[in-house]
Structure 1
Amino acid sequence: MAILVTGGARSGKSAFAEQYAKRTGANGIYIATCQSYDEEMNERIGKHRRDRVDSGFAWETVEEPYQAADRLARLERQFTVNAENGLKPPAVLLDCLTLWLTNWMLRIDQQSLGDSRLEAETLKLLAAIQAFPYTLLVVTNEVGDGIVPSYPLGRQFRDEAGRLNQRVAAICGRVFLVTAGIPVELKSRAFRWDQL
């Protein structure tokens, strides 16, 4: 079952997702979508890696800035074979959707890959998330609560991130919003039109 964890920057969403994974798996696979473009980002990535090692939980980190859907499909096949041999599958944490989206938007913009490429990659990822039968935590950011970006790519990113979050939330069994380190499960509290 897929679980979406969303929130603002430094809200505690990744820490919550990591704790959730620790409680559902004997070990975990961390699919990291971040790419490093400067020294400060190198330091952040290094700190996150050290924190996972120091957590006492057996994380395997996989760097996957673009092909998260393919990675999930490979993991699904691997876990199915392992399950047939009596092995419990690890929890998988995909962190994060908005960085995956950033990577693709920049690649499409820089390489002029065409307007349909982002939708094709998004559909591929949505299908992989929906098909994944094991514990999958997907972390994303809420980026639309602030000011309207002053440049076109920023506005496009904000819109695409909002649409992507909605689409992923629709296919996840549970959706958590984390604010100030406090997780709230949203789907069980969501308004339904039949309640009118």
Structure 2
Amino acid sequence: MAGHILVSGPSRSGKSAWAEFLAAESGAPVIYIATAIAASGDPEWCARIAQHQARRPPHWQLWECPVTLVNSVQQLPPDHCGLVDSLGTWVANTLEQQETQWQATVQHLLAAVAACQATLILVAEETGWGVVPPYASGRHFRDRLGELCQQLRPLMTEVYLVTTGFALPLHQLGIPLPITRLS
């Protein structure tokens, strides 16, 4: 396996498990890049993180980077597989950035992904399939994550949609949209 892979899907669809399977199948040493941090006051969130930790093989390296994703991607050794779980959590962690700062951050991430010689697997949540959130921060998050995934897509060799325990290879089944102004 070579190149970069985007795995997207709704909550509890199996997207992280599919990404972990792809990472294990790569045959390369795996670096798991976690964007979530355990919140001591949120036992349900901690349980979700523990579930992810329990699934990972003990020989995988763990890099925790709730905000510094660009630096982590830049530091991946070429002979490794980096698994980023997840872009949605990273976007949430950087949501306070003003638009100009966010656009610069996105451009730095796109450049880091384009230059990355390691196999890179990115997990992203599908957030826009329901009603438009009735509050500004929810719409802001949803829009940023959706646009980020569209901008990353041309840099990917494979793109999967995971839903109800099935992985659909969009890179084989889909027709890429021309990239102009994303919406």
TM-score past 0.5 threshold: yes
Q: Relative to total residues, which structure has the larger helix share, 1 or 2?
A: 1
Aligned equivalent of 1:84: none
8 Å contact from structure 1 (residues 2, 130) kept in 2: no
Partner in structure 1 of residue 180 of structure 2 = none
Per-residue Cα deviation, 1:33-78 (whole angstroms, up to 9, x for no partner): 012332322222223212214xxx6211111011111111122xxx
Which residue does 1:129 correspond to in 2?
A: 113
Counterpart of 2:157, as a letter, is G
C-alpha contact 1:97 1:138 (8 A) present in aligned 2: yes
* Aligned equivalent of 1:172: 156
Counterpart in 2 of 1:67? 68
RMSD: 1.7
Give the drift of 1:122: 1.1
TM-score (norm 2): 0.88
* Secondary structure of residue in 2 paired with 1:164: helix
- Percent identical residues: 37
The 1-side partners of 2:20 and 2:161 are apart by 15
Contact 1:91 1:135 in 2 (8 A): yes
1:145 aligns with 2:129: yes
Q: Unaligned 5+ residue runs, structure 2? A: 178-183
| Partner Cα distance (2:37, 2:133) in 1 | 22
Aligned equivalents of 2:136, 2:36: Cα separation in 1: 22
Q: Secondary structure at the match of 1:140?
A: strand
Query: Which of these residues, 19, 23, 31, is aligned with residue 21 of structure 2?
Result: 19
Larger radius of gyration: 1
Aligned-partner Cα distance in 2 for 1:148–1:65:
26
1:167 Cα deviation after fit: 0.7
Stretches (4+) displaced over 3 A: none
Structure 1 contact 130–172 (Cα < 8 Å) conserved: no
CA spacing shift, 1:184–1:120, aligned 2, 3 Å: same
**2:93 counterpart residue number:** 103
Query: CA 1:192–1:130 in structure 2 vs 1: closer, same or farther (change >3 Å)?
Result: closer
Q: Which amino acid aligns with 2:86?
A: C
d(CA) in 2 for partners of 1:3, 1:191 = 17
Q: Which amino acid aligns with 1:96?
A: S
Q: Size of the alignment, in residue pairs?
A: 173
**Which amino acid in structure 1 is aligned with residue 9 of structure 2?**
G
How far apart are 1:133 and its partner, in Å?
1.5
Counterpart Cα distance in 1 of 2:129 and 2:44: 26
Aligned to 2:167: 183
Unaligned runs of 5+ in 1: 81-88, 109-113
Q: Secondary structure at the match of 2:88?
A: helix
Distance (Å, rounded) in 2 between the aligned partners of 1:71 and 1:32: 10
